[in-house]
Amino acid sequence: MATIVETERLILREFTVDDASFILNLLNTPTWMQFIGDRGVRNIDDARNYLLKGPIKSYETNGFGLYMVALKKTETPIGMCGLIKRDFLENVDIGFALLPEFAGKNYAYEIASATVDYARNALKLPRLVAITTEDNAHSIKLLQKIGLTFEKKIKYGTEEEVLLLFGMDM
> What pLDDT, in 10s, does the model give residues 20-54?
999 999 999 999 988 888 899 999 999 999 999 99
How many folded domains does the chain comprise? 1
pLDDT tens for residues 57-67?
A: 999 999 999 99
For residue 23, the enclosing domain spans: 3-125
143 lies in a domain?
no
Q: For position 112, which CATH number holds?
A: 3.40.630.30
The answer to whether position 53 is within a domain reads yes
Let me know if residue 83 belongs to a domain: yes
Q: Is residue 145 part of a domain?
A: no
- Planar angle of CA 120, 89, 37, nearest 5 degrees: 100
Measured between alpha carbons, how far is residue 119 from residues 79, 112, 123, 170 in Å? 19, 10, 5, 9
Query: Does residue 135 form part of some domain?
Result: no
Q: Is residue 159 part of a domain?
A: no
Does residue 149 lie in a domain region?
Answer: no
d(CA 55, CA 14): 8
Q: Is residue 101 part of a domain?
A: yes
Whether the per-residue pLDDT at 120 is higher than 90: the answer is yes
**pTM (global) more than 0.85:** yes
CA angle at residue 68 from 71 to 111, to 5 degrees? 65
**Under 8 Å CB-to-CB from 40, ≥6 apart: which residues?**
46
